[in-house]
Structure 1
Amino acid sequence: MKYDFIVVGHGLAGAILSYTLRKQGHRVLVIDEPRPSAASRVAAGLLNPVAGKRFAKSWLADTFIPAADAFYDELEQHFHQPLFIHKPIYKIFSSIEEQNTWMAKSAGTNWNDYILSTHTQSINQPDIDDPFGGIMIGRGGYLQVTEMLDLLTQEVLEQKLMLPERFEIEKLQLTEGGVRYKEDEAKHLIFCEGFQVVNNPYFKWLPIQPTKGEVLEVQTENYTPECIYNKAVYVVPVGNGRFKIGATYNWRQPDEEPSPEGQEELTERFRQITSQPFQVTEHLAGIRPAVRDRRPLVGLHPQYPQLSVFNGMGSKGVLMAPYLAQQFAAALAGTEEVMPEIHIFRYLSLYYDYIEQQNQQL
């Protein structure tokens, strides 16, 4: 069978990119081995416009958030069900020093689109420990990632546009007109493999750092507040007294096995936010594709233009993927350029080093 594109990987990035390409009229084959421990399915799907202890606006938030809103709205209409849950995020100050940092930061920046309110004292929500107050962040929320991936997977399976199997790279052939994989041909192939790109002979030179993240789901006594909490970890109320708590960051042990240490860290962080009694109902672990400079990795292979990569979004995929998928689709059509900040050519020196090492081993 002949296709315009083959997309390898159907996590968050691959699913959004393949849907974007299909909506533009391209014939797309998806190849993906379903794995419950895939990072996209483990994550809580948080979208937060304000990042980190330094209270920085998320990179290109003014660009990414409108695109994300439009994309998830379209997807909800397409499948006739809610997928993105809009909720304010209450970022709790951990100390007077942190409160002062925010007050100084907010004085010189226009935060009107994102900050709903600033609290220098507790907001007196039941069972919430916030003696130093915090900021209430708007335009955030969470994507029901597993539900979205299940719907998109079902759609491509029904249309016979998916091979639900492990991609065998040794069966990939590069041709004059594109690529051939087993019995299928395409003009172009895009790798959206997440951390597994470290085993890809065409793109293993990219500086991906596999980083383990663990998430808990806990049950309380039907306690469901109206906001997401953020203090060292996120606490996302998902209804009926259930919360998702995450995530840990562990680059020393990049495996997909939940650990006692991870559970202890997350439960302790949860206790620092709320006095609600709780019971752990699920403990999951996945591996993120973290990048050295915390920017995605997008672009065509330096030597083989029929191959490209769309990867490296780490914990920001829900925020960034809709806009970047649209931009990359336009770049593949020759109507737009991939922005330099995410283009893989910023690491071209690593590619040359990799080629030299390969030649020395011959």
Structure 2
Amino acid sequence: MDMRKIDYLLIGQGTAGSLLAWQLMQKGCRVLVVDDGRPSSSRVAAGICNPVTGRKLTRTWLADELFPYLHDFYRNLERELDTSFFHPVPLYRPYQSIEEQNFFIAQTANPLLQDYVRLSASDRAYASLIHNELGGLETLQAAWVDLPVMLDALRGRFREAGALAEDSFSWDDVIREEDSVTWKDIRARKIISCEGAYARFGPYFGWLPWAVVKGEILSVDWPGQSLPGIVNQSIWIQPHKDGTFRVGSTYEWDDLDWEPTEKGRTYLEGKLTKLTKLPFEIQCHVAGIRPATQGRRPFAGLHPEYTPIGIFNGLGSKGTSLAPFLSRQLADFLTEGKELHPDANIERFHSLYFSSLKS
């Protein structure tokens, strides 16, 4: 049997696998993405990029590197793919109390946040739909990515380039060699798991400290209504397309399946009713499993024992923000030997792997 020789075999065409494949292809690498179309958290996720999170307005990890890069990256990718999926918008946080208002206003003077937050001059633009009697704060450099549109466009490009195998995948079919792997009639220098939450069940990376979490999202309709940005107050409201809005999200560490639940719907519906002024109609209710990690830092790098096998995963709820910058880092690591960020490199967990061999 004739073997097709490539550089990198990537398993999964979610956000992580797609952007890593794109970065490697831009470097001239021979890439094949294997994806069988099974459920993916990337195709459910809202795709929100938010540089400041939490009640204490905490700057996102690596925000100063991530956000300038992602804005340039997604705009350039839109041009390359001749489609539109990147939507820079402010993220509006209505104050829930006088105490929160005072705290948030004080934080606008924090030099670490000055590039990311401002007192909103757009309170009236939100007032017809939501309760914001005390006003609100805006987060700058925020955005959302229409992930299904982006992933479909990339899938088409991979298909045209002969870089996509729409095929089922099993690690049982992978043959390890000293400096390569073989899968069916493909021989690759390296194979990279970009399988999202499924990766924790595979034979090579189950020892990593996963903390996967289920999330549910509603699509709702407010005829004739609009918002200039994303609203965030314990839940978020995201202006979507065709006059619809998305609302999320829940966090559930048990019952980890892909099915939406009445519990999730009730929670989101109750929060939305309190936040908004007008009745709404639920159009759709979906669920996904985020590939989150303990410590909330991603997994990137090579297996501690079988170095032709690697992983790019664990991006969690911040995947749309993390994937552009970290996919470039991993591509540079694989092709040029450049260092990965130590907080992302799975070398930090190698001791867990070797401990697991003893148990």
TM-score class normalised by the smaller sequence:
over 0.9
Aligned to 1:69: 71
CA distance in structure 2 between the aligned counterparts of 1:60 and 1:272, rounded to whole angstroms: 34
Q: Deviations over 1:245-293 (max 9, x none)?
A: 1111101121111001111111122222211221111110000011110
Alignment CA distance shift 1:178-1:305 (3 Å): same
Q: CA deviation at 1:167?
A: 1.3
3-state DSSP of counterpart to 1:291: coil
Q: CA deviation at 1:133?
A: 2.4
CA distance in structure 2 between the aligned counterparts of 1:11 and 1:101, rounded to whole angstroms: 38
CA distance in structure 2 between the aligned counterparts of 1:5 and 1:157, rounded to whole angstroms: 16
Letter of the aligned partner of 2:357 in structure 1? I
CA distance in structure 1 between the aligned counterparts of 2:233 and 2:288, rounded to whole angstroms: 21
Q: CA deviation at 1:131?
A: 2.8
Q: Deviations over 1:209-263 (max 9, x none)?
A: 2210001111111211211100111110113431011111101121111001111
Aligned to 1:360: none
Aligned to 2:5: 2
Does residue 27 of structure 2 align to residue 24 of structure 1?
Answer: yes
Conserved in 1, the CA contact under 8 Å of 2:10 and 2:193? yes
Which residue, out of 100, 109, 121, partners 1:107? 109
Structure 2: 5+ residue runs without aligned partners? none
CA distance in structure 2 between the aligned counterparts of 1:104 and 1:112, rounded to whole angstroms: 11
Aligned to 2:322: 320
Letter of the aligned partner of 1:101 in structure 2? F
Alignment CA distance shift 1:240-1:8 (3 Å): closer
Conserved in 2, the CA contact under 8 Å of 1:223 and 1:240? no
3-state DSSP of counterpart to 1:309: strand
After TM superposition, the structure 1 = structure 2 runs for residues 80-159 of structure 1, keeping only pairs within 5 Å, are 80-118=82-120, 125-159=127-161
CA distance in structure 2 between the aligned counterparts of 1:207 and 1:104, rounded to whole angstroms: 37
Aligned to 2:340: 338
**Percent identity over paired residues:** 36
Q: CA deviation at 1:101?
A: 3.0
Aligned residue-pair number: 356
3-state DSSP of counterpart to 1:54: coil
Aligned to 2:309: 307
3-state DSSP of counterpart to 1:131: coil
Alignment CA distance shift 1:162-1:133 (3 Å): same
Which residue, out of 30, 33, 36, partners 2:36? 33
3-state DSSP of counterpart to 2:290: strand
CA distance in structure 2 between the aligned counterparts of 1:79 and 1:202, rounded to whole angstroms: 34
Does residue 188 of structure 2 align to residue 196 of structure 1?
Answer: no
CA distance in structure 1 between the aligned counterparts of 2:241 and 2:150, rounded to whole angstroms: 18
Q: CA deviation at 1:122?
A: 7.7
Q: CA RMSD in A?
A: 1.7
3-state DSSP of counterpart to 1:107: coil
Letter of the aligned partner of 2:217 in structure 1? V
3-state DSSP of counterpart to 2:197: helix
Conserved in 2, the CA contact under 8 Å of 1:228 and 1:235? yes
Higher alpha-carbon deviation: 200-209 or 341-350: 341-350
